[in-house]
A and B are shown apart, each in its own frame.
Chain A
């Protein structure tokens, strides 16, 4: 059971380049989310999904796209990288549904630098 995996671990992009951060989980979790972690700001939700084919915006969605074609995968696309997107990105997954909030399981993170 690998849990939540993310690739790559590190990435350097030039302004204007695009790329996809990969996230996969093998726990059959319905809920998946992407956060960015910045010093002094904690983790902020970018996008989330409550199941395959269903996605929605979080707190800071601009500049990012997501799709959820399978339960396991939830890639995050940067359309045109900007220096403000330099951050550490975390993917997380959990069970879903109305009612108690379930524990979220986090991936190891991707450290992205945009120059």
Chain B
């Protein structure tokens, strides 16, 4: 069965510290993974996707098929990174399955 697990409900970090949000998945096919972000009072938006292999707002995520993980990392957290982050798994027809989400709070 398809599943996305985000084990941390809340991640509190200090400004300038590294931050890593964990995401593990189970999927029988070739996975397509995404990170979506929801800033306060804003709509969900795509942060990055594994096939583009790019860095957005200083965030990167590497797909590790052996560990079935797609962790999101940023070396130096900023206050504007405070948001809810969702890991999502796409199937071959475009449906997304979301994890439970991780609330990130960056304190000065």
Contacts and interface: CB of A to CB of B under 8 A. Distances in A.
A89 interface: no
19 contacts: A31-B94, A35-B98, A42-B86, A42-B98, A43-B98, A44-B98, A45-B96, A59-B97, A94-B94, A101-B34, A101-B90, A101-B91, A101-B96, A102-B94, A103-B34, A103-B46, A104-B46, A106-B43, A107-B43
The DSSP consensus for interface residues of chain B is loop
Interface of A: 4, 31, 33, 35, 40-45, 48, 50, 58-59, 90, 92, 94-104, 106-109
B96 A99 contact: no
Contacts, number: 61
A102 B94 CA distance: 6
Contacts of A103: 34, 46, 49
Given A40-B9, A42-B100, A45-B97, 7 more contacts: A4-B43, A33-B96, A40-B100, A41-B100, A42-B99, A43-B98, A103-B46
Interface of B: 4, 6, 9, 32, 34, 43-46, 49, 51, 86, 90-101
A106 B9 contact: no
Contacts of A109: 43
A43 B46 contact: no
